[in-house]
Amino acid sequence: MERRNFFKLLSMAWGAVILLPGRLLAQTEKAAAPASSGAPGTGADGTVKLPEYAKEMRDSDMLGLGPDGKPTGQKATFTGASKANAKAEEAMRHKMKLTKEEQAVLDGKDGEEKAKLMKILVAFGNTFGAEKLVDLGGAPHSNMFIGAEYMKSMIKMLDKCAKAGLKSYAPYTVNPRPYDVYNVQNNPKDMTMIYEGYKLQWDLDYVHVRLGAPDLNYRTCACYLDEIGNAPEPGTYVAWAESSAVNYGNSVLGIRTNRNGAGMDLIQAMLGKAPLFGLMTDEGRMAKWLVEVKTTKEPDWGAIGTAIGRKCVEDVPYVTGLDKYFKDGKVTADNLHLLKAMGSATASSGAVGLYHVEGVTPDAKQKGKKLLAKGYKTYVIDDKEQARIISTFPNLWPKKNADPTAAFIGCPHNTYYEVIKWGKLVTEALDKAGKKKAAIPVYMFMPNTVRARAIEEQGELVSKMKRAGMHATNMCSVSYGGMKGFSERVRGVTNSAKTRNYTSIRYFPDDVLVKIIVTGKIPKGA
Ligand code: F3S
User: Residue 460 maps to which CATH number?
Assistant: 3.30.499.10
**Sequence-separated contacts (24+) of 69-76 with Cβ below 8 Å:** 74/313, 74/314, 75/18, 76/15, 76/18, 76/313, 76/314, 76/351
Same domain as 296, residue 178: no
- What is the number of the ligand 1 atom nearest to the C-alpha of 479? 2
Total structural domains in the chain? 4
Any domain includes 78: no
Same domain as 38, residue 170: no
Any domain includes 206: yes
- What is the number of the ligand 1 atom nearest to the C-alpha of 145? 4
For a mutational test of ligand 1's pocket, the pick from 413, 444, 494, i.e. the residue with the most ligand atoms closer than 8 A to its C-beta, is 413
Any domain includes 66: no
Give nearest CA residue, ligand 1 atom 3.
411
Any domain includes 514: yes
Asked if 199 and 193 count as a contact pair (C-beta separation under 8 A), the reply is no
Query: Domain residues for 463?
Result: 406-519
Any domain includes 68: no
Query: What backbone phi and psi angles, to 5 degrees, belong to 387?
Result: -65, -40
Same domain as 315, residue 203: no
410 pLDDT exceeds 50?
Answer: yes
Q: What is the arithmetic mean of pLDDT over 57-63?
A: 51
β-pair type (470-473, 173-174): unpaired
Same domain as 271, residue 143: yes
Q: What is the arithmetic mean of pLDDT over 257-285?
A: 96
Same domain as 417, residue 382: no
The C-alpha atoms of residue 249 and residue 244 are separated, in whole angstroms, by 8
For residue 291, what pLDDT is reported? 98
Query: What backbone phi and psi angles, to 5 degrees, belong to 167?
Result: -150, 155
- Quote the longest CA-to-CA distance of the chain: 73
Calculate ∠ Cα 482-483-487, nearest 5°: 75
Least confident among 56-70, 178-192, 213-227: 56-70
The C-alpha atoms of residue 208 and residue 201 are separated, in whole angstroms, by 11
Give nearest CA residue, ligand 1 atom 5.
412
Enumerate the β-bridge partners of residue 289. 317, 377
Any domain includes 360: yes
Which of 348, 368, 391 terminates a domain? The answer is 391
- What is the number of the ligand 1 atom nearest to the C-alpha of 243? 5
For a mutational test of ligand 1's pocket, the pick from 3, 220, 259, 476, i.e. the residue with the most ligand atoms closer than 8 A to its C-beta, is 476
Establish whether the linkage from the previous residue to 40 is cis, with ω within 30° of 0: no
For residue 63, what pLDDT is reported? 56
Any domain includes 70: no
Query: What backbone phi and psi angles, to 5 degrees, belong to 198?
Result: -110, 55
- What is the number of the ligand 1 atom nearest to the C-alpha of 175? 4
For residue 235, what is the DSSP state? Answer: T
Same domain as 46, residue 10: no
Count the neighbouring beta carbons within 10 Å of the beta carbon of residue 193.
Answer: 15
CA of 478 to the centre of ligand 1 (A): 6
Which of 335, 364, 391 terminates a domain? The answer is 391
Side-chain half-sphere CA neighbours of 252 within 13 A = 28
| CATH at residue 118 | 3.30.499
For residue 252, what pLDDT is reported? 98
CA of 221 to the centre of ligand 1 (A): 6
Contacts of 477 (CB under 8 A, 6+ apart): 408, 410, 411, 443, 445, 494, 496, 499
For residue 70, what pLDDT is reported? 66
Any domain includes 314: yes
pLDDT confidence tier of residue 4, bands split at 50, 70 and 90: very low
Same domain as 246, residue 342: no
Same domain as 328, residue 232: no
Which of 276, 304, 319 terminates a domain? The answer is 276
Same domain as 260, residue 319: no
Same domain as 172, residue 298: no
pLDDT digits (tens, 9 = 90+) for 294-321: 999 999 999 999 999 999 999 999 999 9
pLDDT confidence tier of residue 478, bands split at 50, 70 and 90: very high
Same domain as 177, residue 95: yes
CA of 514 to the centre of ligand 1 (A): 21
Contacts of 251 (CB under 8 A, 6+ apart): 339, 343, 354, 355, 356, 357, 361
pLDDT digits (tens, 9 = 90+) for 446-476: 999 999 999 999 999 999 999 999 999 999 9
Same domain as 243, residue 129: yes
User: Using a 6 Å CB cutoff, which residues line ligand 1?
Assistant: 175-176, 221, 244, 344, 411-413, 445, 476-478, 498
200 pLDDT exceeds 60?
Answer: yes
